[in-house]
């Protein structure tokens, strides 16, 4: 009975902690972010549907999910350190050894779980309404570049120390990547937005699977590095407290 009570207390505590962090992460506007990701998904799906003579396939569905996935994490990651609540929280956390790392890892974990949940819902919607796709597999494949992008944004935010500055730098980097898209596509293993469902005509399926695996491992390693770098930057408390 005591064990059951401890388990319940543990679950209740973490449920409250998750809810509290959700309020901080999304500044009490989570419903707007979720709604906007759905609207963007719907808009991209309709644009692709009416601009193509062929039915949407897995390769197109990947792009309809990628943009909403990035959208749902962009604002929380870019601006979360700078909001008023976190200014007070970071001031408190710096008096507790190592807690700033645990708290931020927990926040990032929550963001990734939320992104995966939304991607799962949108994948399921696509599978029912558009074209049959591997729902879980699609959500995971989209989640990996989403985690990479959000990790890079998190790292930049800990360097810049300002949400608007982070957004501008991210926009510049994104523009540069779009400008060099042709070169990047010629080296798919290093393409951060590699679409695993778009098999090139001149590549063998087994070779393509190897490229996809290498690309995903590369993105995961870089994501871990970016998160670690960002967490280490959080030691410079004067950057975040005004």
Listed in sequence order, the residues at least 6 apart from 81 whose beta carbon sits closer than 8 Å to its beta carbon are 90, 157, 158, 161, 163, 240
Q: What pTM value is reported for the model?
A: 0.81
pLDDT of residue 222: 94
Q: How far apart are CA 239 and CA 97, in angstroms?
A: 18
pLDDT score of 140 more than 60: yes
Read off φ and ψ for residue 184, nearest 5 degrees. -65, -40
| Digit-coded pLDDT (tens) for 155-213 | 888 888 777 778 788 888 877 776 666 666 667 778 888 888 888 877 888 888 888 99
pLDDT exceeding 90 applies to what percent of the chain?
Answer: 14
């Amino acid at each position: 009975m005591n064990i059951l009570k401890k388990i319940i207390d543990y679950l209740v505590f973490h449920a409250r902690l998750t809810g509290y962090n959700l309020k901080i992460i999304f500044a009490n506007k989570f419903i707007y972010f979720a709604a906007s990701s759905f609207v963007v998904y719907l808009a991209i799906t309709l644009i692709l549907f009416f601009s193509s003579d062929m039915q949407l396939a897995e390769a197109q569905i990947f792009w309809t999910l990628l943009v909403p996935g990035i959208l749902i994490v962009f604002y929380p990651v870019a601006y979360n350190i700078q909001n008023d609540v976190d200014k007070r929280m970071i001031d408190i956390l710096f008096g507790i050894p190592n807690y700033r790392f645990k708290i931020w890892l927990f926040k990032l974990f929550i963001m990734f779980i939320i992104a995966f949940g939304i991607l799962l819902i949108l994948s399921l919607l696509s599978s029912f309404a558009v074209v049959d796709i591997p729902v879980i597999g699609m959500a995971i494949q989209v989640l990996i570049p989403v985690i990479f992008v959000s990790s890079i944004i998190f790292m930049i935010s800990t360097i810049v120390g300002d949400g608007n500055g982070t957004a501008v730098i991210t926009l510049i980097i994104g523009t540069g990547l779009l400008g060099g898209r042709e070169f990047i596509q010629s080296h798919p293993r290093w393409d951060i937005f590699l679409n695993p469902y778009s098999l090139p005509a001149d590549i063998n399926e087994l070779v393509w699977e190897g490229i996809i695996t290498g690309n995903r491992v590369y993105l995961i390693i870089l994501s871990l590095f970016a998160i670690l770098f960002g967490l280490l930057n959080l030691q410079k408390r004067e950057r975040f407290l005004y």
